[in-house]
Structure 1
Amino acid sequence: MAGSGFAYLNARLRARRSQMVPELFFQQALGQSFPDFVRALGDTVYGPDMVGDGLADVDRAVASHMQRMVGDLPGLVTGNMREAVNLLLLQADLNNLKTILRGKAAGQSPEEIKGRLVGGTLPEVLVNAMLQAPDVASVAQVLQLPTHPLAKALRAAASLTDPLALEVALDRDFYANSLEKARRLREPALASYFGLQVDATNLTTAFKLHALGVTTTEGYFVPGGSHVSPVLFNRVAAGDFAALEALSGTPLAPASAARNLGELERALRQILLSKAAQGGKDTLGAGLALDYIRRKEWEGARIRLLARRAYYNLPADAVAKEVA
């Protein structure tokens, strides 16, 4: 893969990284009223996207900003370089699809679900149609995109009645496709990151299986990781958290002390953000795009969470750990 195209993209990314919301904003937001939060957000790079002063307006501003600052990245490069950058945005499609399916299972309204969606490659009209679809089979019918890796995966898994099994089926297809493509494109930073995400996914699934009391773990393990073996997966799913000591000396070591899903997800989020940050050294590949996209997704998620804390007048400690 030629480095010249990425040299141009990375120069643009460095300029955009310098405009990210400063940490002080997030610290101050923990104690602000909703009107004060909206005013403070209007003074950041999200200001041009703010139209109105309600919670839904904050969500729309985040979505619009992400589309401008992240959604345009594949268009700045061509060929294999575009494929590599687009691969990173497909991750948001996976997360959005899971969020939609979870929301529907919980009986949430389309508006509630939409407030938690992030970027991605799917056009808004298609996302809105998925939000209005009554069930999984209907969502699969809406997602009729022949070249999208999740479309075929969802149609194949739509008959599954276990929500967790459905998500794992999507994960399995998505990561198999992503790992194969990252290696074919000769993007080691992306392949390494996706491999670590597979490990993180398996740990999360094992914790969920234990919490649900599921004793049969067959079919829930996603291949492609390097540090979480099927044996470790099964032990954790059975409640043997001491088995996590096997992660010592691996990038997943900070997660070894987790004993519940909340602790695990916070540790994994930090691990994956740190892993993505290593891509900042990848001057001739898609590593810097990986770092920037994950930073912006985390920035948008924090803004939305803090907006809800302020809107519902929740105490700061209710979300402090989640936005740290």
Structure 2
Amino acid sequence: MSRGAKRVARHIPVESGNYPYVTARVRAKKSALLTPDAYTRMLQMEIPQIARVLGEGTYKEEILSLATKLSGVDLIEVATSRRLAAVFTQIIGFSEGELRKMIGWYLDRFDVQNIKTIVRGKVFGASPQEVMDDVVAAGSMTEPFLRELAEAPSLDGMFERLDGAIYAQALEALGVKASEVRRWNQWEDLVTQLYYQNLLNVIPERTEGTRLMRGFVRREVDIVNLRTLLRLWASKATLPYDPFIDGGRDIPKAVLAEMVTMDANALAARLRQYPLTQALASRLKELEALGVGQLVRSVEKLHLLETEKFAHLHPLSVVPILDYVVRMEREVQNLRIIARGKESGLPPEVIRDLLVI
């Protein structure tokens, strides 16, 4: 290729990544996710039986490696966290080019979750090992670095190690040191806002692949905002700051604060204006009667439906991979709910209502 042709090529949007190979591998992994029938059977089992069933399937390696050290709920929680990290690290490993970058950007959500987990653990006096048992090292931060944060002698010392990152930026916005924070919910919301803001900023709209990823992330912003809206609306809570995220695809951020104060009829009418929430609007009063938890879970189920629909429309893109990330993470959350529910003696039907399937 001539020098002039190379200069021109640099400015032509070209898809970069082994999409057919990665999407085929991910489809195979998705087919191994637990089915609704598998959850139904687990609800009739005791915790040791559940661990044994998991040890006979895709969680075999993690269950076997931990079975001599842990048991019960601890075994299930740590094994599922490690499996999550291992699978996502594997996907990054066999992805190439721009596809690999996009998946990595999205998986940084686990860095956000991990830092929040470590902060909560320190606030409530958990040991570093207890904190690390809940960490999923699937983002950019390595497990040794996360352990270093968990073992930091103080919150102030921990945030010194995060200087320049969104976690320190959110703290700076509060205008206090970590040791002076009394309620961390505003910091957590600021971190979430910065994560999505940065994610949308780094995804270029150069190619079809990056445009699809932007669409996926913007829809997820709608879902996160909707979950926050319904939680605040149902609890009649007010916050001294704006918890909503800019950049949603369907629901403008500007209308969300107003929607928090509406009565059920007005809110349902407003939600019917957006294709994303039309079905939810028709069930709003029914879900409200069942409590905040059912409202939030209805949004999380909507998220699964939306990601699957988007993935079906674009089978050879980054979207099926992101859909699998969402579903695999949800599977692990469901397994933890079942294990903790069993440990607490909850009836199977109560635990079932807590699942998002």
Matching of residue 178 in structure 1 with residue 199 in structure 2: yes
Contact 1:235 1:243 in 2 (8 A): no
Q: 1-side partners of 2:189 and 2:202: how far apart?
A: 20
Aligned-partner Cα distance in 2 for 1:110–1:43 = 30
1:5 is matched with which residue?
A: 18
* CA shift in 2, pair 1:135/1:255, >3 Å: farther
Q: For residues 104-183 of structure 1, what are the structure 2 equivalents within 5 Å?
A: 104-108=122-126, 110=128, 113-121=131-139, 122-133=141-152, 136-143=155-162, 150-151=166-167, 153-157=169-173, 159=176, 162-183=183-204
Deviation sequence 1:8-51 (CA, Å, 0-9, x none) = 21121122222223332211111211121111111211112112
Shift of 1:71: 1.7
Match of 2:83 in 1: 65
RMSD: 2.9
> Which structure is richer in relative contact order (CA contacts within 8 A, separation 6 or more)?
1
Q: In structure 2, what is the equivalent of residue 253 of structure 1?
A: 278
Alignment of 1:265-284 (within 5 A): 265-277=296-308, 278-284=310-316
Q: Does the C-alpha gap of structure 1 residues 143 and 255 become closer, same or farther in structure 2, counting only changes over 3 Å? A: farther
SS in 2 for 1:65: helix
Q: Aligned pair count? A: 320
Q: Is the 8 A contact 1:13 1:292 kept in 2?
A: yes
Q: What aligned pairs does 1:72-87 form with structure 2 within 5 A after superposition? A: 72-87=90-105
Q: 1:110 to 1:321 in 2, by over 3 A?
A: farther
Instruction: Please report how far the alpha carbon of residue 174 of structure 1 lies from its aligned counterpart in structure 2 after TM superposition.
Output: 0.9
User: Could you say if the C-alpha distance between residues 39 and 231 of structure 1 is closer, same or farther in structure 2, counting changes exceeding 3 Å?
Assistant: same
Identity %: 21
Deviates more, 1:268-277 or 1:244-253: 244-253
Structure 1 partner of 2:322: 290
Higher Cα radius of gyration: 2
What's 2:216 paired with? 193
TM-score norm. by structure 2 comes to 0.78
**Equivalent AA in structure 2 for residue 314 of structure 1:** L
Change (3 A) 1:182 1:109: same
TM-score (ref. length: structure 1): 0.85
Q: Does 1:34 align with 2:47?
A: yes
Please tell me whether the aligned partners of residues 33 and 313 of structure 1 are also in contact (alpha carbons under 8 angstroms). no
Are the equivalent residues in 1 in contact too, given 2:19–2:316 (CA < 8 A)?
A: yes
Please, which moves more after superposition, 9-18 or 135-144? Answer: 135-144
In the alignment, which residue of structure 1 is the partner of 2:33?
Answer: 20
